[in-house]
Amino acid sequence: MELTGVSLIFASIVVTVLGLVVGSFLNVVIYRLPREGLAVTRPSRSFCPSCHNQIPWYDNIPVLSWIFLRGHCRGCRAPISIRYPLVELLSGLLSFFIFQAEGVSLRYVFYFYFAMCLTAIAFIDLEFMVIPDVLVRPTYLVGLISAVASPHISLPGVNLWGYLQKLGWNETLISLAGAALAFLAGFLSLFLLSMAYKLLKGHRGLGEGDPPLMGLIALFLGLPSILPVLLLSSVLGLLSVVMLVFSGRFPKSGLGLRPIPFGPFLSLAALIWLFWGQRFLLWYLPPHVYG
Ligand SMILES: [Zn+2]
């Protein structure tokens, strides 16, 4: 459905506010999921991690409350992490831009869910060095449903898909097979890399959660996204290590340097590819390959 004029502006505001509100919920997920004894839905009201007082609704308005309270709890004056308004703002912007790209469509719903999942994973991995299965596994299902509900054949080498069509495969089946193939290739790319590293070095170089996350990213973004996402995330990771080392802020643990999580870089690279990947492929590949 194409929107224009006032209805487009109105819809853009609605999806941005939706993003801000979902971002506020993501903050709860990011805080509670990795912590023992806290359920995402219980307690149902948000509380201050310092004084454990319930936060009234007017102190829980995305971004604005944090600015108004100048980043401190109203009750105990404990500082509130900048992560809170940051996640809310990021979610609002992601919702806005995905809507601009996809319009009123199922693709908006699926990509928005995917982007929110990546955001939660990135911030949890950054702090806790873990990618919760409970975030990744249900999102596999959403990815498969998206391949069925809104078939997209994002593969270069259209000839192969033309060939499958000639064999009588319909669009949905090809889309589903493409998504499953992409998942497998994405998962194996990091799984095999991680195995090879372990064989050579004797210890793990990647987190256990990284191959499933790469599988998830490939499931949503298609086979052609795997190599660019891996390259981009490695470059982003390397750049931030260099920046941390030069600024003297590289996290240390015990004797050595603390390993840095790869999940945030994979997530960031996936989001970049979500917005600019298709354009890059069209520019990079000759039209007869990409069709
Ligand atoms: Zn407090």
Tokens 């990618």 sit on residue? 131
Ligand 1 centroid, distance to 59 Cα (angstroms): 11
pLDDT digits (tens, 9 = 90+) for 106-158: 999 999 999 999 999 999 999 999 999 999 999 999 999 998 887 765 555 55
Q: Tell me the one-letter amino acid at 191.
A: F
Ligand 1 centroid, distance to 57 Cα (angstroms): 14
What pLDDT was estimated at residue 43? 76
Cα(196)–Cα(265) distance, integer angstroms: 21
Ligand 1 centroid, distance to 130 Cα (angstroms): 27
pLDDT digits (tens, 9 = 90+) for 127-136: 999 999 999 9
Ligand 1 centroid, distance to 89 Cα (angstroms): 22
Residue spans of the domains in the chain: they are: 1-104, 130-291
Ligand 1 centroid, distance to 72 Cα (angstroms): 8
- pLDDT-based confidence at 259, cuts 50/70/90? confident
For the cut 50, the answer to whether the pLDDT of residue 291 exceeds it is no
What pLDDT was estimated at residue 252? 63
Contact, 207 vs 261, CB < 8 A? yes
- pLDDT-based confidence at 207, cuts 50/70/90? confident
Q: What is the pTM of this model?
A: 0.90
What pLDDT was estimated at residue 212? 97
Terminal-residue alpha carbon distance, the chain: 24
Cα(138)–Cα(101) distance, integer angstroms: 25
> Of the candidates 236, 263, 267, 240, which has an alpha carbon nearest to the alpha carbon of residue 251?
240
pLDDT digits (tens, 9 = 90+) for 36-80: 778 887 777 888 888 988 888 999 899 999 999 999 999 899 999
CA distances from residue 138 to 48, 91, 135, 155, 201 in whole angstroms, order as listed: 29, 20, 6, 24, 33
What pLDDT was estimated at residue 193? 92
What pLDDT was estimated at residue 5? 86
Token duo for residue 242: 């260099």
Output phi, psi for 256, to 5 deg: -105, -165
What pLDDT was estimated at residue 205? 78
- pLDDT-based confidence at 13, cuts 50/70/90? very high
